[in-house]
Amino acid sequence: MTEPRRIYLDYNATAPLRPEARAAMCAAIEVFGNPSSVHAEGRAARALIETARHAVGRLIGGDARGLTFTSSATEALNTVIAGGWGRVIVAASEHAAVLAPAARTGRAEYVRVDGDGRIVLDDLARLLGPEEGSETGRRVAGGTLVCVQAANNETGVIQPIQSVSALCRERGAFLLCDAVQAAGKVPFDCHQLGIDYAVVSAHKIGGPKGVGALWTGQGAGVPPLIVGGGQEHGLRGGTQNVAGIAAFGAAADAARAELQTALDRTGVKADFEARIKASVPDCVIVGETVDRLPQTVCVVMPGRSAETLVIALDLAGIAVSSGAACSSGKVSKSHVLAAMGFDDQSAASAVRISWGWLTQPEELRRCTYVLARSAGRPSQIERVA
């Protein structure tokens, strides 16, 4: 008997490797030169990195010159946040890769999010204060850094980055935007959005794990976190992961090419949500009325345990995750849902379903059926085998 094919719906944790990325990675492994060497072998490796730099830059509307490759988005975020700021202001729903380095500075201040997960702009304005920077909003090194993500990994809620950046400029603060979940899923343009620092990660868009990038806008420098051989224009020491970077570039090009198709499939999310609401009437779609990623649904299932639901789905061949943050196999309370005002019980019943480039609509229909069945409500919807 053949095992039924598994259904993977946890793209916000990591996406399957795209064939274009795999091919680029395999080819680059053969290019063994050190990218810092001046000879032909070194130049060949260097050329792969520069091609990828342009591809990742194109994905986020940032010029290649401003792009630095790192070992992960976490490293890139740490680099900016540890940059010697006088004040570090972070949204309460940021990823741990922002919250932890911000807390470590001993200078973190938190901006509230509302019940829909959107940053409370008045709160940010109050914290920045009218006197921040000079009267003309001139920004100074060692001044204020504001960290607001483009889209949330647990809920898919999209932040009003344009309004945040306008406020930051007016009040003389620099803006760091964690674009890990937005890049390649929705249009994202650093220049248009007025961002100073943007961070992306290869494995969220079908590239390999262990590669990230930091884009730095003009006039927004940052000291390196890792010093050594002066690689990446002196911004990140250490010989680059050439194969990983080449694959990141290939994944970025592929994600950019299919962006419109991905957006055209927003009907898939509406269909998924309508089905789950029909079969589990007391469920709550988190951030239902606000702008969200087209491929993420976080659903609170009152009275059920998310952990039990995730296990039931796993046994049925479907991989999703609980809304609660899960690191190193340990499930802890979701600070994102708590910041949005959900009580502990509701937060512990939240399931996150996220999909991407390989997902078929019938896989989502199957997930709705199994989720509804596992939640203890006989599904009104037709079974999808």
Nearest to 170 by CA among 128, 108, 198: 128
- Residue with Cβ nearer ligand PLP (79 or 149): 149
* Alpha-carbon separation of residue 54 from 58, 61, 68, 179, 250 (angstroms): 6, 10, 11, 17, 11
Q: Is 216 near ligand PLP (CB under 6 A)?
A: no
Give the residue, chosen from 15, 55, 60, 74, that forms a contact with ligand PLP under the rule CB under 6 A.
74
> Contact with ligand PLP (CB under 6 A): which of 68, 79, 153, 159?
153
The answer to whether 201 contacts ligand PLP (rule: CB under 6 A) is yes
CA 217 to chain centre: 19
Range in contact with ligand PLP (rule: CB under 6 A) among 2-10, 177-185, 222-230, 317-325 = 177-185
Q: Which is nearer to ligand PLP, 153 or 379 (CB)?
A: 153
**What is the 8-class DSSP label of residue 292?**
B
Q: Return the residue of 24, 78, 111, 178 that touches ligand PLP, per CB under 6 A.
A: 178
Which residue lies nearer to ligand PLP by CB, 326 or 384? 326
List the interface residues with ligand PLP, window 88-107 (CB under 6 A). 95, 97
Q: Contact between 180 and ligand PLP (CB under 6 A)?
A: yes
Write the DSSP symbol of residue 159.
P
Residue of 68, 72, 144, 241 interacting with ligand PLP (CB under 6 A):
72
Q: What share of the chain is helix, strand, coil (3-state, %, to 5)?
A: 40, 15, 45
Judging by DSSP bridges, how do beta strands 144-147 and 87-91 pair with one another? parallel
Q: What are phi and psi of 352, to 5 degrees?
A: -110, 130
Q: Cα 5 to the chain's mean position, in Å?
A: 27
CB of 187 or CB of 210, closer to ligand PLP: 210
Interface with ligand PLP, residue 149, by CB under 6 A = yes
Q: Where are the beta strands (DSSP E) in 94-154?
A: 108-111, 144-147
Give the per-residue contact string, 300-339, with ligand PLP (x = CB under 6 A; - = no): ----------------------------------------
Rounded to an integer, what distance in angstroms lies between the CA atom of residue 286 and that of residue 322? 13
End-to-end CA distance of the chain: 16
10 Å CB burial of residue 213 (0-12, 13-18, 19+) is buried
- What count of residues does the chain have? 385
CB of 199: closest distance to ligand PLP in angstroms? 7
Q: Does 181 bind ligand PLP (CB under 6 A)?
A: yes
From the candidates 26, 147, 168, 326, give the one annotated as an active-site residue: 326
C-alpha–C-alpha distance, residues 233 and 230, integer Å: 6
* Candidate segments 70-78, 302-310, 318-326, 342-350, binder of ligand PLP by CB under 6 A: 70-78
Distance CA 72, CA 52 (A): 15
Rounded CA-CA distance 151/160 in Å is 9
| Segment interacting with ligand PLP, rule: CB under 6 A, options 61-69, 83-91, 164-172, 175-183 | 175-183
Q: Does 155 bind ligand PLP (CB under 6 A)?
A: no
Q: Could you tell me which residues are beta bridge partners of residue 177?
A: 198
Q: 12 or 368, CB closer to ligand PLP?
A: 12
Nearer to ligand PLP by Cβ, of 46 and 203: the residue is: 203
Q: Does 352 bind ligand PLP (CB under 6 A)?
A: no
Q: Choose between 57 and 101: whose C-beta lies nearer to ligand PLP.
A: 101
Which two tokens mark 8?
A: 């993977």
In 3D, which of 334, 265, 257 has the Cα closest to residue 293?
265
Residues binding ligand PLP: what is the number (CB under 6 A)?
12
Active site residue 326: yes
Q: Considering the rule CB under 6 A, would residue 212 count as an interface residue with ligand PLP?
A: yes
Which element (helix H / strand E) includes 350? strand 350-354
CB of 141 to ligand PLP, least distance (A): 25
- By CB under 6 A, name the binding residues for ligand PLP: 72-74, 95, 97, 149, 153, 178, 180-181, 201, 212
- As annotated, the active-site residues are 326
